[in-house]
Amino acid sequence: MKTTLNLNDRVLLQAKELARKQGVTLTSFVEDALRARLMPAARPARGYKFDPPIVRGARPPAVDVADRNELYDFLDRE
């Protein structure tokens, strides 16, 4: 559809320059800009909260998890 717009000279020159640098037509550039502006605003993503269950045991741990070799040996036995 053809339409007439009254644009600020400086804005139009910037749009033409960016369109030329991107290798697209001014029409395509303006359409993309309008689409971007018309899209609904993205909602900020809620942060992920890691909340593992905590189990309290009655005995001390069977292995010192800070000792990698001991931990691997324990896992290999299982």
Rounded CA separation 7/34 (Å) = 14
Q: What is the pLDDT of residue 78?
A: 64
Spans of all domains in the chain: 9-38
pLDDT of residue 15: 96
Answering whether pTM is above 0.75, one says no
CA angle, residues 18, 22, 28, in degrees to nearest 5: 80
Q: Give the integer Cα–Cα distance in Å for 66 and 69.
A: 9
Question: What is the Cα–Cα distance from 1 to 30, expressed in whole angstroms?
Answer: 13
Q: What is the per-residue pLDDT across 26-76, written as a single tens digit (0 to 9) for each?
A: 999 999 999 998 988 777 788 888 999 998 888 877 788 788 998 888 888
φ, ψ at 10 (rounded to 5°): -65, -40
